[in-house]
Chain A
Amino acid sequence: MASETLDLSPETERAKQGTIELPAPTAWPIILAFGLTLVFAGLVTSASVSILGAFFTIAGCVGWFRDVLPQEEHESVPIAGRVPTAETRHPQVAHVEWKTEELQRARLPLEIYPISAGVKGGLAGSVAMAILAVLYGILSGHGVWYPINLLSAGFFPARATTEQLAAIHWDAFIIASIVHVMCSSLVGLLYGVTLPMFPRGPVLFGGLIAPVLWSGLIHIMLEALDPVLKQRIDWGWFVVSQIGFGIVAGVVVSRQVRIRTWQYLPFAVRAGIEAPGTMREKSGRNGEP
């Protein structure tokens, strides 16, 4: 690198004297490696090979220690040749326009829901979904425990018959509850993030489109992951419970108070700098506030 354009470190000063100190070549590493190999090779050939290897190993260790103690062996290498200078065949620089034009950045909502809105929506949706699932269990004649056992069926493959799935299993209840609350919260968070992207139809998206897409995805995945479980699921009711979740979660999320994003504020304002003139003033459609 061209020294005229870069700072010089203390070592560079030594280099100016015409030589550079480098670790000296040594045979001890190869001798130690060869010795150790022979020690191991002797286990499957002859004890004499191991004995010879031990000799080399000890010699390698002693030689290595003497190389680095009390001071590491170095050799002085003279600096030869000139340092190349930095030149380019591509002196022109083309800047990508979208990096300099803020207006062409991705569209981001001016207002979003807080994280808590997503969690609240997810938990409310989970209650609605649980009610619909239990209702399904009662109406189908399998009982309230059937949908709960189905939800945790992947963890208890031995419980495969309808009777077993309709029975009370507290371990299945605990696992199903954890899975249900976790998934509902995460999907609720997803709703909280995505609903502001659909300002014209949050309920349509959250209550219908997303649940149907989600159901389709699970339908496909279960075919590969657990085809037996897939056969047990009543997909009509599954979609209904998903829609129930979506509507309740969507309504709860959309009723929360939105907060403004800082996306369109000048950097100086976002950084808390109160000094007029530090940033270009904005105006017009995207120039608020």
Chain B
Amino acid sequence: MSTDAIAMPSTAIAPRPIVATLHEWVTTVDHKRLGILYIIYALAFLLIAGVEAMIIRIQLIRPHNNFVSPQEFNRLFTMHGTTMIFFVIMPFMFGFANYLIPLMIGARDMAFPRLNAFSFWMTAFGGLLLYFSVVGANGLYGAGNAPDVGWFAYAPLTSQTFSVGHSTDFWILALLISGFGSIGTAINIIATVLCMRCPGMTLATMPLFAWLNLIMADLVILAVSPLTAAQIMLLIDRYLGGHFFDTQAGGSAVIWMHFFWVFGHPEVYILVLPAFAFASEIIPVFSRKPIFGYSVMVGATIAIGFISMSVWAHHMFTVGMSSAANNFFVISTMAIAVPTGIKIFNWLATMWGGKIEFKTPMLFCIAFLFQFLIAGLTGIMQGAAPFDWHLGNSYFVVAHFHYVIVGGILFCLFGAFYYWFPKMSGKMYSETLGKLHFWIFIIGFHLTFDFMHIPGLLGMPRRIYTYEPGRGWDTWNFIVTIGVFFQAAGILVFLGNLIWSYFRGKAAGSDPWDAWTLEWSTNSPPPAYNFASIPVVKSRRPLWDLKHPNDPDWNYE
């Protein structure tokens, strides 16, 4: 697509006062601006959670270390986990979904623009309230402290007896508030995808990005609601004399586990389905081939959505469930590998025989394919109950889910950043810095998370504050911590690239990747109304049809 086709209005526009600009952003209901707000907000929390991770790893770099106190250590891993899941990855995904879905389906905005703004601000205030606990958790009457009950906050650790003060309350309320925001966004995504597609775009011709986010939004509604209910029950336990999770008064601590993981495992798919969506858009464009097996990809996504609601108790094998329950959750966990495996085969088949361009987004997606496969395999290992009895609560588990979250999801996110940055900013990023980021980060990732499996196999428990020397864990922990510094350097290169490219980057034009979905048919960055005229499409790759009028896709679909 030609870059000279973008013509700005001829009249010069005076720079707006900063207050007016801020007012525009605070009052905006534009899906693109809200998407960018989500992304910037998540980037800020990524830095905070990253610093927390570094402190955790510095504490564990050698035996008997006292870099932070045990109390601080507990707060750090709680805040790191909570922040990464609820205030980094989810907002990132919501941000990209917000920005891209209306553009991809040829709509002017989300179905409920004001609800969209409300949802973002609820999420934002939820995160701020969580970190306000650092100063205000004792009710402003003394020194505050952050929550320290772990990101899944098992009972009875959360009872008044073991968690005095208000730190746990801040954790509950922050997730409750951000949960309302998540549900609002999910409703919006579902309504937008189902009701606002442009003429000609059926469910069978909709971009896979929209399909995957539709299933993700369904999962949000199904999974976040039980968590919200459980948070309210926990508040009732703590302040109104309830006994839902009080085992000494007829309650059940295991019920909390069920409530949490009935949210917690679908949550993994809430995070990973949008990552799949990024890969499903990026891999075909840089392989110069249409996605292989579109219908099967959609079917596999729906299957993942269903099966993901039936695997939650594989997090609870070590609790001591009945054999029938163990058998069921082993089988369902194995079953979910099937549609996920289908997706991996389809991405590989898309690349097979293609003219692959190894641009930065593609590099991140290729790394994602390998790493997510390994993450899936270690997941299958732990899905076998007897294996999990050995490794439950060990660093092997920590390595596994970081392989999923970082090796799978974060790599795809970086790919998405580089792929859509030209559309969002109108500028091209630096390919050199992008590749530097990729190589530094992938070295750091593998140093950290490959070697993290080994102390887990050797019996190192998760959340351990420090350890005795001579257990065979020392060298591995040292290597793992060194890897974190590589990752931090990679993130700094990434941020530097974004900032430098935004101010100094070359003009990107409307379609720098010669891509095929509708967002590339409008200017970069897109105008407030997205499209001067609502497009009418006839196939899954409407821009391909325009670029190849003699060989359009609708001949084959």
Q: Which residues of A contact B (CB under 8 A)?
A: 1-3, 5-9, 11-12, 15, 20, 22-30, 32-34, 36-37, 40-41, 43-46, 64, 67-68, 77, 79-91, 93, 96, 154-157, 224-227
| B324 at interface, CB cutoff 8 A | yes
CA distance A79 to B522 in the complex (A): 12
Q: How many residues of B contact A (CB 8 A)?
A: 79
Stretch of B365-373, B409-417, B477-485, B539-547 at the chain-chain interface: B539-547
- With a cutoff of 8 Å between Cβ atoms, the chain B residues found around residue A34 in the complex are 121, 125
| B176 at interface, CB cutoff 8 A | yes
CA distance A34 to B2 in the complex (A): 44
User: Which 10 A-B pairs have CB atoms at the shortest separation, nearest pair first?
Assistant: A33-B121, A29-B118, A86-B546, A29-B117, A88-B547, A84-B510, A37-B125, A12-B533, A25-B27, A1-B521
- With a cutoff of 8 Å between Cβ atoms, the chain B residues found around residue A91 in the complex are 547-548
CA distance A90 to B514 in the complex (A): 8
Please tell me which one of the listed residues A1, A24, A96, A157 contacts residue B518 in the complex, with CB atoms under 8 A apart: A1
Is A40 within 8 A of B176, CB to CB? yes
| B315 at interface, CB cutoff 8 A | no
Return 20 A-B CB contacts under 8 Å, by A number. Answer: A1-B535, A5-B549, A11-B533, A22-B30, A22-B529, A23-B113, A25-B24, A25-B28, A30-B27, A36-B122, A44-B173, A80-B527, A81-B6, A84-B2, A85-B1, A86-B547, A87-B1, A87-B547, A88-B1, A155-B323
Q: How many whole Å from B521's CB to the nearest CB in chain A?
A: 4
| B387 at interface, CB cutoff 8 A | yes
CA distance A45 to B2 in the complex (A): 57
- With a cutoff of 8 Å between Cβ atoms, the chain B residues found around residue A9 in the complex are 198-199, 533-534, 536
Please tell me which one of the listed residues B128, B528, B547 contacts residue A77 in the complex, with CB atoms under 8 A apart: B528
Is B169 within 8 A of A90, CB to CB? no
Q: Which residues of B contact A (CB under 8 A)?
A: 1-2, 5-9, 24, 26-30, 108-109, 113-115, 117-118, 121-122, 124-126, 128-129, 132, 136-137, 139-140, 166, 169-170, 173, 176-177, 180-181, 198-199, 235, 239, 288, 323-324, 327, 330, 353, 384-387, 509-511, 514, 518, 521-523, 527-529, 531-537, 542-543, 546-549, 551
* B24, B125, B170, B548: most-surrounded residue (chain A CB, <10 A): B125
Given contacts A33-B125, A44-B139, A11 and B547 within 8 Å (CB-CB): no
Please tell me which one of the listed residues B124, B288, B386, B521 contacts residue A86 in the complex, with CB atoms under 8 A apart: B521
- With a cutoff of 8 Å between Cβ atoms, the chain A residues found around residue B115 in the complex are 29
- With a cutoff of 8 Å between Cβ atoms, the chain A residues found around residue B121 in the complex are 29-30, 33-34
Q: How many whole Å from A75's CB to the nearest CB in chain B?
A: 9
CA distance A243 to B460 in the complex (A): 45
CA distance A227 to B385 in the complex (A): 12
Given contacts A1-B546, A3-B533, A80 and B9 within 8 Å (CB-CB): yes
Is B7 within 8 A of A7, CB to CB? no
- With a cutoff of 8 Å between Cβ atoms, the chain A residues found around residue B8 in the complex are 80-81
Instruction: Tell me how many residue pairs across A and B have CB atoms closer than 8 Å.
Output: 190
Is A67 within 8 A of B114, CB to CB? yes
* B118, B169, B288, B548: most-surrounded residue (chain A CB, <10 A): B118
Is B173 within 8 A of A40, CB to CB? yes
CA distance A264 to B139 in the complex (A): 77
Q: Which residue of A lies closest to B235 (CB)?
A: A43
* A44, A90, A91: most-surrounded residue (chain B CB, <10 A): A44
- With a cutoff of 8 Å between Cβ atoms, the chain B residues found around residue A81 in the complex are 6-9, 523, 527
Is A36 within 8 A of B547, CB to CB? no
CA distance A147 to B12 in the complex (A): 88
Is A41 within 8 A of B173, CB to CB? yes
Q: How many whole Å from B235's CB to the nearest CB in chain A?
A: 8
Query: What 4 additional pairs, Cβ within 8 angstroms, besides A23-B109, A46-B139, A86-B546?
Result: A7-B536, A25-B27, A84-B1, A91-B548
CA distance A12 to B327 in the complex (A): 57
Please tell me which one of the listed residues B5, B24, B235 contacts residue A84 in the complex, with CB atoms under 8 A apart: B5
CA distance A30 to B30 in the complex (A): 14
Given contacts A36-B177, A44-B170, A81-B527, A6 and B24 within 8 Å (CB-CB): no
- With a cutoff of 8 Å between Cβ atoms, the chain A residues found around residue B198 in the complex are 9
Given contacts A80-B8, A93-B551, A5 and B118 within 8 Å (CB-CB): no
Q: How many whole Å from A228's CB to the nearest CB in chain B?
A: 10
Q: How many whole Å from B133's CB to the nearest CB in chain A?
A: 8
- With a cutoff of 8 Å between Cβ atoms, the chain B residues found around residue A15 in the complex are 529, 532-533
Q: Which residue of A lies closest to B510 (CB)?
A: A84
- With a cutoff of 8 Å between Cβ atoms, the chain A residues found around residue B542 in the complex are 1
